[in-house]
Chains A and B, each alone.
Chain A
Amino acid sequence: MSQTMTLGVDAGSRDVKLAIGRGGEIIFSAVVDTVRFYLTCRNGGKELLLNRLPQMESAPDYSRIVATGYGRNNIALTGGEVIPEIMAHATGAVAQTGLGNFTLVDLGGQDTKVIQVINAEVDDFVMNDKCAAGSGRYLENIAAALGTSLDKLGECWENPVRLSNTCAIFGESEVVGLISDGAPVESILAGANFSVVARLKPMIMRYRPKVIVATGGVARNQAIRRLLEQETGVEVIQPKEPQLNGAIGCVAS
């Protein structure tokens, strides 16, 4: 682990996550909407000016930058290093949990990654196919269609209605149909959570997991965590900062 004060940047599809620290210790963090991040930081040229972000006003000094995520190659920050997402997430989960052997499930805005970590290194990984079905975006759309919050969604895991569609777009019309049939909102929300877990299950079970570490924005959803435990029969550990895991991995790498 590097002992230099480092800024980790995980430029995701929905949010850009920032963390500053040294090794596994994080002393500052921020989450910025991806579109807002680029609109604010773009300087006309290729360079991004992070000090334009209001969130960075209270940030401590750093002398090293490590970036990952979809936008990592756009993070044209002077002297910035770039690492693959899979490595950043595995390193972040090792740093946050202190574990060396686990199956990491990263649930992002448009993307799901399952990474098998053995002796604190990536042994194998699989990512969802080219589709946002069953991703964070799907859950956001379902919550919005039902006029409810993501917090409420995260509480619903009992009596799930079986949803046939995890498509981020078509899922909405299915939900509208269920409402008109009189299904309880909680059951529909639980159904949405369940369908995400059902889609994840084959990706996870190929690694015969003993411990699951869940990260990414969606891992804050406690219903998903419960359903994941129920469906896999394996303990699911949530690190302290699931959403910042990739950025923490950048700092720790």
Chain B
Amino acid sequence: MKPVGLTTTIPSEILFAAGITPVDLNNLFITDAKRTEFIEEAEVTGFPRTTCAWIKGIYSACLHGNITKVVAVTQGDCSNTHVLMEIYRMRGVETIPFNFPFGRDRESMVRSLQLLAEALGADLERAEEWRLRLNKIRRKLDMVDLLTWKEGKVTGAENHLFLVSSSDFEGDPDRFEEKVDRFIGEAENRTPSQTAVRLGLIGIPPITEGLFEYIESSGARCVYNEVARQFTMPFGGESLVDQYLRYTYPYDIGPRIDDIRAEIQRRNIHGIVHYVQSFCHRQMEDLIFREKLDTPILTIEADAPRVIDARTKIRLEAFIKMIRQRKGAEI
């Protein structure tokens, strides 16, 4: 199967149906030992320093990974991707746009899926079969999530890694499913964590290394990874159209807030950590979350893939202590 890059989560069922191996360029970038060099390389090419590091990272990761075709999300993610597409083309990488229609309009979504299928030479009926196949794995990821917040047997970092991998199923759904099965089997036998302070992480997947580990070492646990969980399509659906209209991340913020509120209740979350990426338009969403959510919120920001810095540590430490003081005997 030939690899095709993705700039964010898209209907991977269509790629599998076309006999294509999806490669989430974000995962390719962030797991590469040269991730810092990738950013430097993009800056040397001419990407401004004040551009999101994910954009610069996936630019270089694509070229280094010899990915010659990319599906780029041009509506519902990030406008930087538009220019990234132009630059990819200039470098000889074929690009295919994909839109999540802003108004969640059903007909537009049908059209978006058709266009993608046509561009990749996929049959949509076959893609629906793949939906059923991948759903089996997605629901196993629900189990990983349940083992995190309900059973206390999976760490925030493990939860993040497994859930975020559902953007491309690591390119091989069968192998990934086996990995998930093995993990669940192992995790079920663990002793539940006794950590009292329960945090939820909202916002795009963090670029910072050691964030979850630091939270755990400070006496708290991350029991909710909002966007990573959304990558697993937790609300399912009867068709690809349904499934990708229920996905919260690429549309207006209302359903995201409803989702976050419901999970705060269900998972008994004491505080929200809102991760924002430097130079990302989504930083502005912080003010909406602060107005709409009643739970204490800590906003942390990072620019590049580096180990968690002293400033972020100080904030997390104080936030966790503040929650503990406030909750007192309750926790």
Contacts and interface: CB of A to CB of B under 8 A. Distances in A.
Interface of A: 70, 84-87, 111, 121-127, 129-130, 206
A122 B326 CA distance: 8
A122 B325 CA distance: 8
A171 B5 CA distance: 43
Given A121-B325, A124-B296, A129-B301, A70 B314 contact: yes
Interface in B294-320: 296, 299, 301, 303, 309-311, 314-315, 317-319
A123 B326 CA distance: 8
Chain B interface mostly: helix
20 contacts: A70-B310, A84-B314, A84-B318, A86-B318, A86-B322, A121-B325, A121-B326, A122-B318, A122-B325, A123-B326, A124-B296, A124-B322, A125-B318, A125-B322, A127-B315, A129-B301, A130-B278, A130-B301, A130-B303, A130-B311
Contacts of A206: 290
A124 B293 CA distance: 14
Contacts of B278: 130
Interface residues of B, number: 18
Contacts of B290: 206
A84 B296 contact: no
Contacts of B317: 84
B321 interface: yes
Nearest to B298: A125
A238 B322 CA distance: 24
Interface string B205-241: 0000000000000000000000000000000000000
A84 B324 CA distance: 13
A237 B145 CA distance: 48
Contacts of B318: 84-87, 122, 125
Nearest to A118: B326
A85 B311 CA distance: 11
B120 to A, nearest CB: 41
A87 B296 CA distance: 16
A153 to B, nearest CB: 26
A109 B173 CA distance: 52
